[in-house]
Every structure is written in structure tokens, then in C-alpha cells.
Amino acid sequence: MASRQLRLIVNGEEHSVPCVDSETLLTVLRERLQLTGTKLGCGRGECGACTVLVDGRLAYSCLTLAAGCESTPITTVEGLGSAQALHPLQQAFIEHDALQCGFCTPGQLMAGVALLRDTAHPTPTQIRVAMSGNLCRCGTYAAIERAICAVAERSA
């Protein structure tokens, strides 16, 4: 399989990474760029653990070919905020205990951030529709809903 250099813009940083055409964005993020916050849960676009933003749009990175993301801005959980400067939704997840094992959390955060960006004050139904592509087996859903509502309430 032919390998080539791919220009990726991840969290505002430019990278040139070797990539095989058949490789997914998830593989390149995790195995080449060591951005392991984005998780592999199913590899079939079912669980949402691999959710990232590609050109501002939500994408399951396990179903997205890396080669198709050439020069396109990509945001992963590492680009949301840091422990010193958390994104408001990250802060709200902590305050509302919207995580247990934490494995699905990066994907949940990306989906939640995209929702709040498009809909500043989502209704409960809008939250449930927007977040239903992200599975959590620990059962943190109610807290996730509260965390999203809390951020929405804080934004005037």
C-alpha cells in the first residue's frame, strides 16, 4: 500500500504525516500524532467515541478517511481546552459529574460543543437528538444533559 505525506491541520497546528490512503482519520490522529484523546470504541460509526470536528462539522473519525481531510481544519478534544483553561462544557462536565470511566467523554464533549455552537439554548429534545449518536455504558446521560443545559443557561 502506497504511503504518502498528508498535510493535516489539527487544533490549529499543521502536521505533515505519513498516511496510507485506506487509513482513517482516527488511526492517523491516534497512532501518528499521538492525539489519543479521541477513542476507538466500535470502528463502525456506531458508538461516537471517535467524534471530532472536521471543518467545523461533527464526524465519526473511525469512518472518515484521513486522505479526505487534507488541509482541512480538524478539532479534537485536545483542542477544546486544557486543564488550566477548560472549555465551559468541560468545566460543566466536571461540576455535574457527567463522566464515570471517561472513555466516551471526549466524543460526548465534541458532540455537545457542536450542539451549543449551532443552538445556544437547546431544548431537551434537541439535546437528546443531537447527543444520541454518542453511547455511554456507565450511564452518565442525565448528567451530560444537565451539563449542556448549565452551559446554555450561562450564555446570555
Whether the Cβ atoms of residue 85 and residue 79 lie closer than 8 Å to each other = no
Mask of contacts with another protein, 2-41, x by CB under 8 A? Answer: ------------------x-xx---x--xx--xxxxxxxx
| Contact call for residues 61 and 26 (beta carbons, < 8 A) | yes
Query: Which strand (E) or helix (H) includes residue 16?
Result: strand 13-20
The footprint of another protein on this chain (CB under 8 A) covers a number of residues equal to 59
Dihedral of alpha carbons 130, 106, 57, 45, sign: negative
Contact region with another protein (CB under 8 A), list: 53-61, 63-71, 114-122, 139-147: 139-147
Considering only residues 83 through 122, tell me which ones interact with another protein, judged by CB under 8 A: 83, 86, 90, 93-95, 97, 99-106, 109
| Interaction between residue 142 and another protein (CB under 8 A) | yes
- Least distance CB 127 / another protein (angstroms): 7
The residue range among 53-61, 65-73, 74-82, 114-122 that interacts with another protein, by the rule CB under 8 A, is 74-82
Angle 124-131/105-118 helices, nearest 10 degrees?
130
Which residues have CB under 8 Å from 52's CB, separation 6+?
A: 25, 29, 38, 58, 59, 61, 74, 75, 76, 110
Q: Is 136 in the site for another protein (CB under 8 A)?
A: yes
User: Helical H runs in the chain?
Assistant: 25-27, 88-95, 105-118, 124-131, 141-154
DSSP 8-class letter at 7: E
Closest CB 28 distance from another protein, rounded Å:
11
Chain residues in the site for another protein (CB under 8 A) = 20, 22-23, 27, 30-31, 34-44, 46-47, 49, 76-78, 80-83, 86, 90, 93-95, 97, 99-106, 109, 127-129, 131-132, 134-145
